[in-house]
Amino acid sequence: MDDVLYEGKSKIVCTGRDESTLLIRFKDSATAFNGEKKAELPGKAQLNAAISNIIFNYLAQHGIQSHVIEVIDKTSVLVKKADIIMVEIIVRNIAAGSFSKKFGIAEGTVLHNTAIEFCIKSDDLGDPMINESQITAIGLAQPQELAEMIQQSLKINDLLYALFAKAGIKLVDFKLEFGRCGGQIILCDEISPDSCRLWDSETEKKLDKDRFRLDLGNVLDAYREVLGRLQNV
């Protein structure tokens, strides 16, 4: 175990126990704006791994299959090797970020229904937005795979919205990735304050990577707050 196969912006992928597994090591690096803004935040790896493990475990208990097999240590998880579908799914409950900017909708506006967006997972292209017919037209996913991803994303949203509400947190939006494994579509990557917008339910204080993106400070204090609250749910 432990030969590096690929180093990404926030995680390192290593060989696993056998051909069908991989070891994922979370990194302390933070990036934003497609890698233009970078920093080392010592302790981020441990916090994101812990938060993602709690969330994936909760989702598994509610019928969502993911790539996670076993937590190895504080910053590493053993996962199933999946054929990653190169489409990122963004789920939005409340307007923020690029949605607010693109459509001129004030940040914090509660959406009439959950909005689903798709982006191509490509740093070279800058993760461009893509629609369902374009995804299937260029073969990034089959129609039934896309339908399955959307169905799972909506279920994950319902489950996580309820979990975070118990922790006194509004789930504003988040990004998911899926992969093909053993004939099934499974949840991959991570779910953490790097990939979600999380606001305190009372004060709307940002408890996620926007603190880094927008230079709001106290980034890891916010991540620690999210972990502490999830541990107490």
Q: Which residues bind ligand TMP (CB under 6 A)?
A: 90, 96-99, 127, 173-175, 195-197
Q: Which amino acid is at 178?
A: F
We find the least distance from the C-beta atom of residue 17 to ligand TMP, in angstroms, to be 28
Nearer to ligand TMP, 20 or 122 (CB): 122
- Give 127 or 145: the residue with its C-beta nearer to ligand TMP: 127
Residues 6+ apart with CB under 8 A from 33: 213
Q: How far is the CB of 25 from ligand TMP (least distance, A)?
A: 18
CB of 34 to ligand TMP, least distance (A): 7
Residue 113 Cβ vs ligand TMP, minimum distance, rounded to whole Å: 17
The residue among 173 and 225 lying less far from ligand TMP, judged by its C-beta, is: 173
- E strand or H helix at 212: helix 210-213
CA dihedral angle for residue 184, residue 155, residue 140, residue 213, rounded to 10 degrees: -130
When computed from its CA atoms, the radius of gyration of the chain, rounded to whole angstroms, is: 17
Angle at 69 between CA 223 and CA 116, to 5 degrees: 55
CB of 20 or CB of 98, closer to ligand TMP = 98
Residue closer to ligand TMP, measured from CB, 80 or 197: 197
CA angle 65, 24, 140 (to 5 degrees): 60
Structure tokens at 144: 């039934």
Q: How far is the CB of 105 from ligand TMP (least distance, A)?
A: 11
> Which residue has the CB atom at the shortest distance from ligand TMP?
97
Q: Are 64 and 159 in contact (CB under 8 A)?
A: yes
